[in-house]
Amino acid sequence: MIDLTRRELARGAISIALLASAPRSFATEAASPGADTDFMNLVDPELRAAAATVMPLTETLAKMSPSTLVGIRASLDKMNPAPDQSVKITRRTVSGTRNQPDVVVYVINDKPGTRRPAIVHTHGGGYVLGTVAQDLPRLQATSASLDCVIVSVEYRLAPEVTYAGSVEDNYAALKWVFENADVLGVDNGKIAVMGESAGGGHAALLAIKARDRGEFPIAFQLLVYPMLDDRTGSVRQPPSHIGRIIWTPTANRFGWGSFLGVRPGTAAVPRGGVPARTRDLACLPPAYICVGSIDLFVEENITYASRLIDAGVATELSVVPGGFHGFDLGSPDAQIVKTFNNAKLAALRKAFATA
């Protein structure tokens, strides 16, 4: 794993730290000869078996449409792992904000009477798929490792609702955590946001929303291969060896179009729905962003980290050579995945210790 700190990014180390498989400009970089057929050679050897296994799912997601979503969601729901019975989970319903409906959240490892860190978590799924259930065992393990509370949000999915609704769902959860800190056993000064893929995009949007409203200060944002920019795969095309596994440019266009309610990559896109289109990133919480070098989101993640640094936000970026989108989910025993997960935990521990 390549760790790029704020200082290193500021010195321009990005250009020398990344693999050749992650060029700086999707718009201008041409794919190397043979890249279309040899992209699997760029996958880390520990991850190649998992990459081959998920190619049928990749093809399914690339063919998503409003008519196929129900079936895809049902199929994915059947794959959800069973939660750990030894770590407490409570399903709660919290009041919506700004005339929005109530929101279901899952509270993990709360201990009334204590003052511990907390994480507001948003799951992945391209803004159109996924539930809290898909992440419960991993969240339980995280809460146990860090001795913290995690509140994961069952936000509404697109296209049934656009970003305006789901962002408010997540904000309602954040508000509830702050207002119920004593009951949950939470230290209000140590509340982070965290998410993977579209959940990382939601976490970034939540951090921006919290800053703009000035009601509930967030201590840290952990963005795991976050989905940040609607222009990726629409007006900015990656080299042919990037974005080939799990989440492709085609899937990305569908996800963003559903989430925004307009065609992605156009002037009609509302800035409030896209973290990468937010003009001012100053005064956001410190960030840790991690992504694989052949993930579709690698370029936009690097750019967002650089912009955060330019805005004066303490930021660390980790790029994993040979990592594809969601690579950590299919090979939990691989050393590259263990290193990736340990780095995330270390970032959270440091953030909570210094908040």
Task: Kindly list the distances between the CA atom of residue 30 and the CA atoms of 14, 239, 280, 347, in Å, as whole numbers in the listed order.
Answer: 19, 6, 31, 35
Distance CA 108, CA 32 (A): 47
- Give the total number of structural domains in the chain: 1
Q: For the residues 286-303, what does the mean pLDDT come to?
A: 99
For residues 168 and 267, is the Cβ–Cβ distance under 8 A? no
Q: Is the dihedral of CA 260, 261, 263, 267 positive or negative?
A: negative
Domain of residue 208: give its range: 2-354
**Beta-strand pair 315-320/89-94:** unpaired
| Strand segments (E) across the chain | 2-4, 89-94, 103-108, 116-122, 149-153, 186-196, 220-224, 287-292, 315-320
- Helix, strand and coil in the chain, % to nearest 5: 40, 15, 40
Q: What is the mean pLDDT of residues 335-350?
A: 98
Task: Give 95's strand partners.
Answer: none
pLDDT of residue 38: 82
CATH at residue 25: 3.40.50.1820
Between helix 335-354 and helix 136-146 the angle, nearest 10°, is 50
- The pLDDT of residue 126 is above 70: yes
- pLDDT for residue 76 is more than 90: yes
Residues of the chain with pLDDT > 90, as a percent, come to: 89
The pTM of this model reads 0.91
